[in-house]
């Protein structure tokens, strides 16, 4: 990792935490534009006025999805045709404002959006502020200013809400990369690129992952090495079950397996998790080299208690997707960032992935791990889980042939 990038991002974070503005430029092959960025917790009428008079674009407030959910903010349009997928919601003003448009009023609204106790009822709808919803994985998932601004807020350790405004030149045209450098220098602002934010986040992830211990694991499938890693979010450790030298040789035979107590331990026939775990370990043993990362993401990320509640609803006729939705829970809340970090720490950049789930391939690619081959893992089909697997195929786009069609 280039130490200059670390120092550059650290300086920008210091400026943001002091309540100042910076400029963030996106890639040359995207919009090649820049936004002024500030942290919503640190907003002031002066910085809002500076932003709208010197950046001149549309002032918006990016926020993490959990903030938008708490505030009950919905997409401005259900079927947006925005070329870059910007997630606009309905507009608003804080009820403590008057007209809502002055720099003072807009600062009040922005500050209120960052307040952890704010609710829908604290705002007029519509208003003069445009909230934006960032993707959960930030710039790893979408390389936009919305995600960059929220990532910077998270890196700064404040509420994941920011305020941004596109930078225009005095003649009204968009400021491009060469213009942004001059504007940043002229206003005494730090200038970052989204690529630098991506690099900084990757560096932080690699620094954060720590081994707890490593032991031999003799099993009925073969003898493996078991390594436990601290989970940055707390909770039980992530486990790496491996065989052979992971860093050298052909692309690594790999399985990402999310914890399933009912299937992995009790042999439940309601899913195919247990048979998949067993077959993956058998294949790694036969291959003589490979790895399985055991992720503590029970019930596609909703936890054991909620998974059992969803099971109860399935017994009443709902499918697995409908049950989660009925409970107000994500359909699939799993994230494979820590898995990618572990693989990188072992020198792995390419894998042959045992999976039926294309989302795993997409997420790993976003985190810098390339899947050179997808190896199907269709095992454990039973009369009890056929409808479950069919739902995964038809509603979650899992690549399953054996379950037939709806």
Active-site amino acid positions: 332, 334
Residue 256 is assigned to a ligand binding site: yes
Check the annotation: does 381 bind a ligand.
no
Would you say 300 is a known binding-site residue? yes
Structure tokens, 273? 């998790």
CA dihedral 176, 61, 93, 116 (to 10 degrees): -160
- Residue 237, Ramachandran bin (φ over 0: left; ψ between -120 and 50: alpha; else beta): beta
- 259 labeled binding residue: yes
For residue 135, give the DSSP letter. P
Query: Are residues 43 and 147 in contact, defined by beta-carbon separation less than 8 angstroms?
Result: no
Q: Is 276 within any annotated ligand binding site?
A: yes
Map residue 336 onto helix, strand or coil: coil
255 known ligand binder: yes
Provide the Cα torsion 396, 400, 404, 406; round to 10°. 10
Does the annotation flag 258 for ligand binding? Answer: yes
Q: Write the DSSP string, 208-277.
A: H--EEEEEEEEETTEEEEEEEE--TT-SSPEEEEEES-SSSSSSEEEEEEE--IIIIIT--SSSSHHHHH
Confirm or deny that 299 is annotated as ligand binding. Answer: yes
Q: Identify the bridge partners of residue 252 per DSSP, sorted by sequence position.
A: 351
Q: Are 348 and 369 in contact (CB under 8 A)?
A: yes
320 is in an annotated binding site: yes
> Phi/psi zone of residue 249: left (φ > 0), alpha (ψ -120 to 50 degrees), beta?
left
Annotated binding residues for GTP: 255-259, 276, 298-300, 320, 355, 360
Annotated binding residues: 255-260, 271, 273, 276, 298-300, 320, 355, 360
Annotated binding residues for Zn(2+): 260, 271, 273
């Amino acid at each position: 990792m280039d130490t200059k990038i670390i120092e550059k991002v650290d300086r920008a974070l210091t400026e943001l935490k002091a309540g100042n503005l910076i400029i963030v430029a996106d890639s040359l092959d995207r919009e090649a534009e820049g936004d002024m960025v500030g942290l919503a917790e640190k907003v002031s009428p002066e910085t809002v006025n500076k932003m709208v008079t010197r950046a001149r674009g549309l002032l918006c407030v990016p926020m993490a999805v959990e903030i938008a959910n708490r505030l009950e903010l919905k997409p401005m349009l259900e079927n947006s045709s925005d070329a870059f997928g910007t997630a606009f919601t309905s507009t608003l003003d804080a009820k403590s404002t008057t007209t809502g448009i002055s720099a003072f009023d807009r600062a009040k609204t922005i500050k209120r959006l960052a307040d952890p106790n704010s609710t829908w009822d604290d705002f007029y709808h519509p208003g003069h502020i445009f909230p934006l919803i960032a993707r959960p994985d930030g710039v790893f998932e979408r390389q936009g200013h919305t995600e960059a601004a929220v990532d910077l807020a998270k890196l700064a350790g404040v509420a994941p809400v920011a305020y941004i405004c596109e930078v225009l030149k005095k003649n009204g045209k968009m400021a491009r990369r060469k213009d942004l450098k001059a504007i940043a220098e002229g206003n005494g602002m730090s200038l970052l690129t989204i690529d630098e934010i991506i690099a900084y986040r990757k560096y932080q992830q690699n620094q954060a992952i720590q081994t707890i211990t490593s032991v031999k694991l003799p099993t009925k499938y073969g003898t493996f090495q078991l390594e436990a890693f601290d989970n940055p979010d707390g909770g039980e450790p992530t486990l790496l079950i491996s065989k052979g030298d992971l860093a050298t040789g052909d692309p690594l035979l790999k399985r990402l397996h999310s914890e399933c107590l009912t299937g992995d331990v009790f042999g439940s026939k309601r899913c195919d998790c247990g048979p998949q775990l067993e077959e993956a370990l058998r294949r790694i043993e036969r291959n003589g080299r490979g790895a399985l990362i055991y992720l503590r993401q029970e019930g596609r990320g909703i936890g054991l208690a909620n998974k059992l509640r969803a099971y109860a609803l399935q017994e009443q006729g709902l499918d697995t997707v409908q049950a989660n939705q009925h409970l107000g829970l994500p359909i699939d809340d799993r994230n494979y960032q820590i898995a990618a970090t572990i693989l990188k720490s072992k020198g792995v950049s390419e894998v042959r992935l045992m999976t039926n789930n294309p989302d795993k391939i997409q997420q790993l690619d976003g985190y810098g791990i390339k899947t050179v081959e997808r190896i199907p893992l269709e095992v454990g089909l039973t009369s009890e889980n056929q409808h479950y697997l069919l739902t995964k195929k038809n509603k979650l786009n899992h690549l399953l042939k054996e379950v037939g069609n709806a």
